[in-house]
Amino acid sequence: MFETIEGDLATTRDYCLKDSSITLDDLKLYEDPEQLPENQACFYKCLYIQTKIVGPDGKVDVDALEVLPGLDKSKFGEVKKCVEDFDKVVTCLDMRKIAKCIDLAVTV
């Protein structure tokens, strides 16, 4: 899903890949977000902070998720409700909880 993005988002993706010491090939979809390895969780944390999906306070801005590829925008209500139950992103592994919410809208 991240292979086809272009422009500023691609630049951010590449920065976060390098920052997390992983490659595009390392990124996989997991049926269970709890299986998301820490290095991939760190990639997502970096990406979400850089794109302002996660603010400086660690709070998730669900509406900002629209920049991500492969999401069904009609399911954002479910995602928003799920994220409301989540406090904030502090560590990389907190991204597992966010990934569970985002999985509700993944189309790929």
Q: Where are the alpha helices (DSSP H) in 21-94?
A: 38-50, 76-84
- What pLDDT shows up at residue 101? 86
> Which tens digit of pLDDT belongs to each residue from 27-42?
877 778 888 899 999 9
For the chain, what are the domain ranges? Answer: 7-105
Q: Are 102 and 96 in contact (CB under 8 A)?
A: no
- What pLDDT shows up at residue 68? 74
Percent of the chain with pLDDT over 90: 37
Class for the domain spanning 7-105: mainly alpha
Pairwise CA distance, residues 4 & 63, whole Å: 22
What's this model's pTM, rounded to 2 decimal places?
Answer: 0.83
Copy the structure tokens of residue 25. 């090939």
Pairwise CA distance, residues 46 & 57, whole Å: 14
E strand or H helix that includes residue 8: helix 7-20
- What pLDDT shows up at residue 93? 94
The Cα diameter of the chain in Å comes to: 34
- Burial of 96 from C-beta contacts in 10 A (0-12 / 13-18 / 19+): buried
Q: Which residue is listed with tokens 């086809």?
A: 4
Average pLDDT over residues 67-87: 81
